[in-house]
Amino acid sequence: MSNFFLNHYLKHTLRHELTELYASVAIKNFAFSMIVIFEPIYLYTLYDSLAIVFMYYAVAYTLYFFTVSIGAKAAAKYGFEHCIFYSIPFGILYFLSLSQLPNYPWLIFVAIILMVIYKSLFWPSYHTDFAHYGVSGFKGREISALAFILTIATILGPIIGGIILVNFSFQVLFIVVSTISLISAIPLFATREQFIPHHFSYKDSFKRFLKPYGNYKRNDSIAYFGFGEEVIAAVGWPIFVYLIIEKFDLMGVIMSVVIFSIAIISLYMGKLSDVLRKRDKKKLVTYGTMIYVIAWILRPFSANWLGVLLVDIMSKGSKTAINNPLLTYIYSAGKNHKGFLKYNIFCEMSLSAGKALAAWGVALIAIIWGYYGNFDFWFVSFAFAGVWSLFYLFKFYES
C-alpha cells in the first residue's frame, strides 16, 4: 500500500494489526480467486446435478450456523490472528480433499466438515480483528480500502485459474491454490499479537439470535438474512456462465474485468459511506437493492460473454452500494453491543442461516425442476435470489 493511497484516501495510517490482516487476506484471496468461480462448476461436472451441488453448500452453511460460535470461543481464548492462522491448514485440506473426489467419492463428507471448520475459525476472527483495530469514523474507507486491495490482488486470479484448467486439470489447480494459501500465514506474525483471553458463551450467542434483546435487533438479523442470496451468486451464477461460454479461460478474463471495475466503485462507496447521514445511507441501500434486484432478473437473459460481463458489473456494482453501509455499521456496532465479537457472531449466525435457507430453497427448486421440467430453472432461481435480496432493506427501516 503506497503512502499516497494511505494519505489521500484513508487519511490515516493503518495499525500494524490491520496491515498484517490486509497482507494475509490479500494473499489468501489471490489463491482463492483462482478457484472460487470454478469450484461449483467442478462439483457440477462431477455429479451432473444442480440439486446435489446446492445441497452440498446448504449442508455446509447449516453446520456452520451451529459451529460459528465455537470458532468465536476459540478466538476469544487464543486470539484473532492465531485463529486465522489455525484456519489455513483446514482450508488447504479442504481443497486437497476436493481434488480427490473423483477417486474417493466419500471425501465429499470430509470436504464439508473441513469447509465448516475453516469458516468457523476464519470468519469470526477476521471480522472481529478488522472491527477491533479499525479507526472509528473511517470504517467505510477502511472497508473499501480492504476491498480495493483484495480486488487488486485478485484481478489476475481468475485468468490464471482458467489458464491452468485449460492446460492442466482441476487437480493441478487445487494444488496450486493450496500452496499459495500456505504462504498467507506468513504476514500474520510479523509482530506479536497483543491479546487478552476472555470468555465467550456459546449458549448466549443463540439467545441473542433467537430472542434479540437490547441493542441486538430483530431488524438487523433479518437484514443480514439478505446475504443468503450470495450463495446463489457464488454457486449458481458461475455454473450458468459456464453453460453459456464453455471456456474456462474466457470465463477467467470476464471475471477479472468485472473485479477491476468493482475495485473503482468500491473506493467511491467507502468515502460516501463515511460521510453520509443515516437517512442518506438508507437511500443508498434502497437504491442499490432495487438495482441489484433488477440485475438478478436480467441474469438469465445473458446470452453471450458481453451480456455476462455487463450484467455482472451491474450486479456487483449495485451490491457494493449495499455492502459498504451495512458492513460499516457491523464493524462499528461492537462498541455499542459490549464487544465486537458478540455482535459479529450475531451477524454471522443470521448470515449463515440466510445462506443455508437460500441454498436449500434453490436445491428444492432444482429437485422440482428435475421432476417436472416445465419451467425455466435459472429464471426462477435468479428471481428467488432477487426477492431474497429485499431482506437488506430491513436494516435501515427500523420501527
144-165 pLDDT tens trace: 666 677 777 788 899 999 999 9
For the four alpha carbons of 35, 388, 70 and 83, in that order, the dihedral sign comes to positive
Proportion of the chain above pLDDT 70, given as a percent: 84
Say what the pLDDT of residue 279 is.
64
**pLDDT for 98-127, tens place per residue?**
999 999 999 999 999 999 999 999 999 988
Say what the pLDDT of residue 135 is.
45
Amino acid present at 197: P
Say what the pLDDT of residue 398 is.
55
Residue 261 has pLDDT above 80, yes or no: yes
Across residues 189-193, what is the average pLDDT? 71
Residue 2 has pLDDT above 50, yes or no: no
Identify which of 230, 250, 213 has the alpha carbon closest to the alpha carbon of residue 342: 213
pLDDT band at 258 (very low <50, low <70, confident <90, very high): very high
Q: What is the spatial distance between Cα 38 and Cα 235, in angstroms, rounded to a whole number?
A: 9
Fold of 15-182+205-394: Growth Hormone; Chain: A; (1.20.1250)
48 CB-near residues (< 8 Å, 6+ apart): none
Residue extents of the structural domains in the chain: 15-182+205-394
pLDDT band at 10 (very low <50, low <70, confident <90, very high): very low
Say what the pLDDT of residue 365 is.
97
